[in-house]
Structure 1
Amino acid sequence: MDQRQITKGMIEFNKSVLDNTFSAISTIQDQSAKMLTDFMDKANWLPDDGKKAITNWQAAYKKSRDDFKKATDEKYEKVAHYFLR
């Protein structure tokens, strides 16, 4: 087997594993955020400042998650370009 094909297979496999794992973790985080939001809507004892802080926290981790995914996709493209040109 050609060295390029082996390298390409390894890169594609690693990217696929990352994408699938990221998708699973994202789904779990989204479901957790939805449950927390539903809980906050029913929790009359939770102050509005607390609800706002939790909402901001959820937005921050979603943005960070999206930024991480974007960065890893860009790096995989660079790795593929470097090794497979």
Structure 2
Amino acid sequence: MDPKQIPKQMFDFNKMAFQRSFSAMLIMQDQAEKMIGMWMDQNKWFPEEGKKAMEEWVKTYKKGRDDFKSKVNKGYEKMEEYLEPK
């Protein structure tokens, strides 16, 4: 094994682990959103203002997670440039 490749392999492992963990989190959040939406639709007593607040909250957390993912991806791109053999 080439010692120069160890940092690249560690980086690739970290990147893959993050991507898979992030994907799992997305699946869980999307499923929770669907369940809450179904619950609100089935419970007619739930106030309309509450539904609007939940929709706004969902938009906010989706924007936050997309912004976070974008920043992490930019960091990974910079690190890949740094680790490229020259």
TM-score (norm 2): 0.91
**How far is the alpha carbon of 1:3 from its aligned partner?**
3.4
Aligned to 2:39: 39
Matched, 1:82 2:82: yes
Matches within 5 A, 1:37-76: 37-76=37-76
Query: Can you give the 5+ residue segments of structure 2 that lack an aligned partner in the other structure?
Result: none
**How far is the alpha carbon of 1:2 from its aligned partner?**
2.8
Matches within 5 A, 1:18-29: 18-29=18-29
Greater RCO (Cα-Cα under 8 Å, separation 6 or more): 1
Percent of aligned pairs with the same amino acid? 45
Equivalent pairs counted in the alignment come to 85
Distance between the aligned counterparts of 2:19 and 2:82, measured in 1?
Answer: 20
What is the RMSD computed on CA atoms of the aligned residues?
1.1
Q: Which amino acid aligns with 1:27?
A: I
Query: Can you give the 5+ residue segments of structure 1 that lack an aligned partner in the other structure?
Result: none
TM-score (norm 1): 0.92
**How far is the alpha carbon of 1:83 from its aligned partner?**
2.6
Q: State which drifts further: 22-31 or 37-46.
A: 37-46
